[in-house]
Amino acid sequence: MKSQLAVVGLGGSLAEHSSSLAALRIALEGAAEAGAKTDLLDIRQMSLPM
């Protein structure tokens, strides 16, 4: 049985227009196209005490 690769990307920039977050999204899209299950964790969308 072959298991599916899982890739989690953590976006840590607080900038509204983050180029690193844009690059992370592109990388995750590529991983998904290759068959991986992907998740993006963007700290701006998380309820963190900052």
The domains of the chain are located at 6-45
Q: What is the pLDDT of residues 1-40, one digit of tens each?
A: 688 999 999 999 989 899 999 999 999 999 999 999 999 9
Give 48's contacts (C-beta < 8 A, 6+ positions apart): none
| DSSP label at residue 50 | -
Report the alpha-carbon distance of residue 30 to residue 17 in Å, rounded.
21
CA atoms within 13 A on the CB side of 14: 4
* Structure-block tokens of residue 6: 């899982």
Task: Tell whether pTM > 0.95.
Answer: no
